[in-house]
Amino acid sequence: MRLSVIGCGYLGAVHAASMAELGHDVVAIDVDERKVAELSAGRPPIHEPELPELLARSLASGRLRFTTDIEEARGASVHFVAVGTPQQQGGTAADLTYVDAAVSALLPHLSDGDLVVGKSTVPVGTAARLAELVRASPADADLVWNPEFLREGFAVKDTIRPDRFVYGVPGGDAGVRATAVLDDVYRQAIDAETPRLVTDYATAELVKVSANAFLATKISFINAMAEIAEATGADVTQLADALGHDARIGRRFLNAGIGFGGGCLPKDIRAFQARADELGLDSLAFLADVDAVNLRRRDRVVALATELVGGDARGARVAVLGLAFKPDSDDVRDSPALDVARRLREAGAHVVAYDPAANGTAARLAPDLDYVDSVDAALTGAEVTLVLTEWSELKALTPERVAALVAERRLVDGRNVFDPRQWRDAGFEFRGLGRP
């Protein structure tokens, strides 16, 4: 099939390359000339496992090309809208400027029978509004909302073989037709019996934001338990293990630590709450607490590091290991790790930072940290060491290796990845989150 993908960010670039991999003929469109040039040369703008290989294969096959010209969407029969919906400047709601602009730009190039497929995360009600615009266009086209659930670090896998598809379709024959077309796009996964739910627009939009709200709540729940554990001497990691054995609860997303960040969870819970407010509903008031618990964990890490250097961070050499919001990513959007690093820097510390992939992206946002290109360089002479992203390389650190380089044996484990006893036995002052 001939497809267009509008927006070549995290979502769009991965989606376009994955669709080409599945055998479709894909034109991917973005307004950013540099991004288009980089992608056309096979260089992904983001660090994502499997993406470079996928991009190289798709470009070589001739089934994928990138352009800034929206007119090239003409001739494709399915058009994916995969642009960003960031948090509004000075507000908490989602900024729909890019979605609206993408759909408006696409309308003149639609042909009869085309399908416009929204993948971006949007406030409930957006699809119905956009469907009106599509219906009012000269072509006889339809709109579907097909949210994306990809996780960074697993984006390719999650796109090619997701754990479920959700199609929010219009009513009547148009919905039946749209379902059949999308099934063809995703034929391989559909034939492999990937669950597929066909819903109305509002439900599809809600699946996405409520999934993220649920995940954020689960993380903040365990981080709230970490606060209780800190006040009572309990160990939140053992608590999580014990809770996780209850199949109704499950162990995943119960890792207490520095909290969630990234380009999705923080902004999505805020936008969701803002949308509920607009609807005049208090139903999501608890998400403010979810957000607050999450942000308090960052305060806690800053406080622990400060305490370990004697109550005043000024002049202290602090090794920050990990800056990305999660491992296998160079994404530092709303990264708790980078936030902590910056706050220690603002408090006067000399922050020496290392991340296996995110030094570059972090330096753009926080140029005043001292970035180094190895763990050892960061550790050398450190008066306190903070491990803030659970990269394999960092989880593999041993007390012996760290002790040989640092000035002071002090460690804050922001992700609860180490065994405290092992470090204490090696003479470290060790602080975890929610651990005695």
Please report whether residue 287 would count as binding ligand UDX according to CB under 6 A: no
List, in order, residues 6 or more apart from 56 with CB less than 8 Å away: 42
Q: Which of 185, 193, 196 is nearest to 76 (CA)?
A: 185
Residue 147 or 420 having the CB closest to ligand UDX: 147
For the CB of residue 224, give the shortest distance to ligand UDX in the complex, in Å: 13
Structure tokens at 205: 């939009």
User: What track of x and - describes contact with ligand UDX for positions 99 through 138 (by CB under 6 A)?
Assistant: ----------------------------------------
User: Which residue of 126, 212, 359, 361 would you call a contact of ligand UDX, by CB under 6 A?
Assistant: 212
Are 58 and 39 contacting, i.e. CB atoms less than 8 angstroms apart?
Answer: no
**Residue whose CB is less far from ligand UDX, 70 or 122:** 122
Give the shortest CB-322-to-ligand UDX separation in angstroms. 10
CB of 234 to ligand UDX, least distance (A): 18
Nearer to ligand UDX, 103 or 417 (CB): 417
| Nearest to ligand UDX of 229, 254 (CB atom) | 254
Residue 215 sits in the site that holds ligand UDX (CB under 6 A): yes
SS3 142: strand
The two structure tokens encoding residue 30? 């973005």
Is there binding between residue 13 and ligand UDX (CB under 6 A)?
Answer: no
- Identify which of residues 317 and 342 has a Cβ nearer to ligand UDX in the complex: 342
User: Whose Cβ is closer to ligand UDX: residue 73's or residue 264's?
Assistant: 264
- For the record, the structure tokens of 310 come out as 């004697």
| Rounded Cα gap, residues 94 and 359, in angstroms | 28
Q: Report the nearest approach of ligand UDX to the CB of residue 219 (Å).
A: 4
In the complex, the smallest distance separating the C-beta of residue 182 from ligand UDX, rounded to whole angstroms, is 18
Could you give the 3-state DSSP secondary structure of residue 229? helix
8 noted as active-site residue: no
Alpha carbon distance 34, 70 (integer Å): 16
Q: Closest separation between CB of residue 201 and ligand UDX, Å?
A: 19
Q: Tokens standing for 140?
A: 């006889």
- Residue 5 makes contact with ligand UDX by CB under 6 A: no
Q: Rounded to whole angstroms, how far apart are CA atoms 24 and 362?
A: 35
Task: Using CB under 6 A, count the residues that bind ligand UDX.
Answer: 19
Verify binding: residue 326, ligand UDX, rule CB under 6 A.
yes
Residues 218-277, interacting with ligand UDX (CB under 6 A) = 219, 253-255, 257, 259-262, 264-265
Q: If binding is defined by CB under 6 A, does position 149 make contact with ligand UDX?
A: yes
H helices of 68-145, in order, are 97-106, 126-136
Choose the catalytic residue: 264, 290, 304, 387: 264
Cα three-residue angle 175-176-181, rounded to 5 degrees: 95
Identify which range of 23-31, 145-153, 361-369, 427-435 contacts ligand UDX by CB under 6 A. Answer: 145-153
Distance CA 337, CA 260 (A): 10
Give the type of residue at 59.
L
Asked if 357 contacts 372 with a C-beta cutoff of 8 angstroms, the reply is no
DSSP of 282-332, one letter per residue?
-TTTHHHHHHHHHHHHHHHHHHHHHHHTTS--TT-EEEEE--SSSTT----
Measured CA distances, 164 to 128, 148, 198 (Å): 22, 10, 11
- Measured at the CA of 330, the angle between CA 13 and CA 10, to 5 degrees, comes to 20
Report the residue number, 134 or 332, with the smaller CB distance to ligand UDX.
Answer: 332
Q: Kindly state the tokens that stand for 261.
A: 């960040």
| Cross-strand bridge partners of residue 94 | 87
Question: Could you tell me the smallest distance in angstroms from the CB atom of residue 264 to ligand UDX?
Answer: 3
* Stretch near ligand UDX under the rule CB under 6 A, chosen from 38-46, 47-55, 146-154, 357-365: 146-154
From 8, 20, 131, 150, residue interacting with ligand UDX (rule: CB under 6 A) = 150
Q: Candidates 33-41, 150-158, 362-370, 379-387 — which segment interacts with ligand UDX by CB under 6 A?
A: 150-158
Residues 432 and 430: their CA atoms lie apart, in Å, by 7
Q: Shortest approach of ligand UDX to residue 381 CB, angstroms?
A: 28
Q: Which is nearer to ligand UDX, 67 or 217 (CB)?
A: 217
* Neighbour tally for 368: CB within 10 Å: 9
* Contact residues: ligand UDX, CB under 6 A: 149-152, 212, 215, 219, 253-255, 257, 259-262, 264-265, 325-326
Catalytic residues: 264
